[in-house]
Structure 1
């Protein structure tokens, strides 16, 4: 069992240390000769030290990328990571709370649709996944952009395959359908990347919803559970997105904010987010109306109408809560 030491508590309250927490926990349960070592961890904690640590690790590995540890979902490790790393972060740092739990169904499968924001590591999703699993004992899997699985930066930051092993589902149609067929409680951001990348100027303004979750809900007769998150806009404040730079770097978004100077000095802060009390408001289950049109154009139109109707309902609640 992984026990928090004084060093782990230090890492929790010192932003450059969050990446150390994730990797130390992984190494407790996995043999990872390609992973970071103690000297490199200590370099994370000093300005610019991460770059030296990265160079040292690259030389240590013979000037190659870290090898994959396998990419199969491991529910046992997800539970360990949730109990031993996510739990103290949720309880003591984000202080996340569920509201209106009477709206939670007794069982799944479900598509949990939440407003996603923050332009940072998806902490609003991770907190919600933890709270739902604690409340109902559910096995929860988030749908994530493909870049969170295979971007070269993440391969160096975190163990290769880390997101998949912890239950991440690629935002691709086939994986989407497979997850639902396995009775998964699937966390889904209907706005896609438009949500977290919209920037501070558009905080608490829902962007256009994608159609895929409406179609899958209809075809599989799986209800949608809308959830409103308040506080996630403050995970990385005063940001705006430089889209051209994001495309050049092959990133989902490229946030620019007063914090970026700190990120340049301490790249290990990439998995960190500012302290914000996160409140989750569970809404009544939403069951899609049957899509009866046969032509692709008419089906898309009907799906679009339902997606935007749900968006409008969620936006009204967000507007009321943010006053």
Structure 2
């Protein structure tokens, strides 16, 4: 059922993809519709294309599906590895594996589970580069950005990179949950200025959350209110003459509903946020659900492209000018969110 024979694993995803893609079995479909199984899907797909001797095995996967079984699986794996962490390897972005993962794993999740769709498609440019700036919510695994990346790739065929919080790369849970270098191989870029600058210079399509972690941290009560925007994306847009494409997502607030963030506990456990909701007892029983989210309808409303501002248009106080640009964009996106919510209320009335 779960084939992990090392002889069948090829370290080069390009070579493996040319031979045989990943095919969904009945077990994979079961994992898709049984929330604790999503982590199994991610790891099984990786192991289909990569040699992963330190990864999870079939016995541990079965334990994921049992209440509290993840803790036993973690202990078994730790003992199997000689009481050490999984080996961390030097990995680089692999657009071929990114495409395979999107088509074979992300596609059924986005299309059948999150029901993602692009709207106002006439505003979507046909050429790159650009910084795609989107409101961020949900207080969970960043499915709003993963789904948007998939939809943009499907619509335009773009190779896309996503700026992501450093916890997706370094946190202890991620080291155990997912294969080493998983986020980086799939196009994740650490949300640090040097890394952001480097990827902007590559002149690709970059997904970016102007709210940063303030977005998911705001919780359910402020789910439709945009938090303060960072300034770095405006500065880099101006510096490298790259336009900004604002996108408003409606539905990402429902990925993990009814949440509040407890900041003291968040800092105590060194987490980017610590959501407390009625779902938490289930997460405690099934920690593998950390990459899962509630079923939602993710709708992405593409706004008109915002050209990069030239140096001649800037005022003498450059930082003040950048702040005004970020504030103006935030106000426009907030206005669009409010308008879309009002239309939804009218349609339901």
1:206 paired residue number:
226
Mapped to 1, the partners of 2:269 and 2:161 lie a distance apart of: 27
Task: Answer whether contact 2:114 2:297 (CA < 8 A) is retained.
Answer: yes
Residue segments in structure 1 that go unaligned for 5+ positions in a row:
none
Partner of 1:71: 91
Return the alpha-carbon distance in structure 1 between the equivalents of residues 320 and 170 of structure 2: 33
1:15 matched to 2:56: no
Partner of 2:323 in structure 1? Answer: 304
Unaligned runs of 5+ in 2: 1-20, 343-349
| 1:273 positional shift | 0.2
Runs (4 or more) in structure 1 with deviation over 3 Å come to 288-294
CA distance in 2 between counterparts of 1:281 and 1:49 reads 41
Pairing 1:120-139 to 2, within 5 Å after superposition: 120-139=140-159
| Structure 1 residue 177 displacement after superposition | 1.3
Give the drift of 1:287: 2.0
Question: Which moves more between the two structures, 210-219 or 279-288?
Answer: 279-288
Aligned residue in 2 for 1:169: 189
Aligned to 1:196, the other structure's residue is in SS state helix
3-state secondary structure, aligned to 2:84: coil
Deviation at 1:160, TM superposition (A): 1.4
1:288–1:306 Cα contact (<8 Å) kept: no
- Within the candidate set 82, 95, 115, 1:62 is matched to 82
Aligned to 2:64: 44
How far the C-alpha of 1:173 sits from its partner, in A, is 1.2
CA distance in 2, matches of 1:191, 1:273: 20
Deviation of 1:70 after TM superposition, in Å, equals 2.8
CA shift at 1:203, angstroms?
A: 1.2
Cα deviation 1:94-143 (Å, max 9, x = unaligned): 01000011111111110000001000000000000000001001001110
1:209-257 C-alpha deviation (Å, 9 max, x unpaired): 0000000000111000000000000000000001111111111100000
Q: Which residue of 1 aligns with 2:7?
A: none
What is the deviation of 1:266?
0.1
Does 2:342 align with 1:316? no
Q: Distance in 2 between matches of 1:239 and 1:71?
A: 35
Quote the residue 2:12 is aligned against. Answer: none
Partner in structure 2 of residue 3 of structure 1: 23
Counterpart CA distance in 2 for 1:24 and 1:209 is: 37
> Could you tell me which residue of structure 1 aligns to residue 260 of structure 2?
240
* Structure 1 position 309, deviation (Å): 0.4
Q: TM (normalized to structure 2)?
A: 0.90
Contact kept in structure 1, 2:241 and 2:309, CA below 8 Å:
no
C-alpha distance in 1, partners of 2:88/2:315? 45
* 1:216 corresponds to 2:236: yes
Partner Cα distance (2:234, 2:91) in 1: 28
